Every structure is written in C-alpha cells, then in structure tokens.
Amino acid sequence: MILLLDTTVLIDALRHRANLSAKLSNLVLDGHVLTTSTVNTAEVYAGMRPTEERETAALFQGLHCYPLTEGIAQLAGKLKYQWAMRGRTLSLIDMIVAATALENGAVLITDNRKDFPVHGLRFLSLP
C-alpha cells in the first residue's frame, strides 16, 4: 500500500513523538511504501528547527515525494471550490495534499482528519 505522510506525521517523526519512527519503520517492513508531497516538504522545512536540518534531509531521502502536477492542482482547486459552495472553507494546502493522495492512489496518514473531508480519500490511523 502507498502511504502519504502529512506534515503533522512528518514533524512528529522528526521530533521523536509517540514512537512514530518505529511505527513507520514497521510499515515499511510490512511492505508499504512511504511517500509525501512537495507541499508537505515545504511545510516541514518552513517550520524546521536549526538543529533538525540533517535529520530532516535524511527523512526526506527515504521518502518518495510526489510533485505538484497540473492534474493535482486542478483537482485541489475543484475540491476547495466544492466545499466553499457548501459554506466550509478548507485550506488550499490541505486540498493539494488530498488531491495528491487521490491522484496517486495513496492512503493518507494525518493527525488532522477533520481537515480532509474529501469523498474517496482513504486514511490509515497509526496504533
């Protein structure tokens, strides 16, 4: 299974919270592929502490990073618009992450499921 790691999960792994690194390692050992998106990469680097640069680079070396394509951009814009028409404002960044997962058949791992009320988006909760 392809698993897309959201920013919250990446930061928790970098900061050694909730034994997350071991949980992610177990997923890889079970045959899952860990991925992220260019948007998540940008968010992590934007909030990175100076002492985390080496570890951050190492984390991203081990992940496949999906680029922002025209198809993903269009889908993200449509998702944001559809929710706006329902009276709910969603983050464009979150819709790009959701569209990246949908376009690539990935399952999203996030601590903020409420930010992703997108039909068809699949989630995996870590134990």
Give domain status of residue 125, yes or no: no
Mean pLDDT of 14-18: 92
Give domain status of residue 77, yes or no: no
pLDDT number for residue 127: 77
Q: Please name which of 115, 27, 110, 15 lies closest in space to residue 63, comparing C-alpha atoms.
A: 27
Per residue in 43-86, pLDDT (tens digit) is 999 999 999 999 999 999 999 999 999 999 999 999 999 999 99
Question: Which residue range forms the structural domain that includes residue 44?
Answer: 2-67+105-115
Give domain status of residue 78, yes or no: no
Is beta strand 2-5 parallel, antiparallel or unpaired with respect to 64-66? unpaired
Give domain status of residue 58, yes or no: yes
Give domain status of residue 75, yes or no: no
Number of domains in the chain: 1
Residue 8 pLDDT level (bands cut at 50, 70, 90): very high
CA 62 to CA 122: how far, in whole Å? 23
Give domain status of residue 97, yes or no: no
Give domain status of residue 83, yes or no: no
CATH code for the domain of 7: 3.40.50.1010
> Which tokens in the block code for residue 126?
């870590």
Give domain status of residue 49, yes or no: yes
Q: How far is CA 61 from CA 35, 54, 65, in A?
A: 10, 11, 9
3-state secondary structure (DSSP) of residue 102: helix
pLDDT number for residue 13: 95
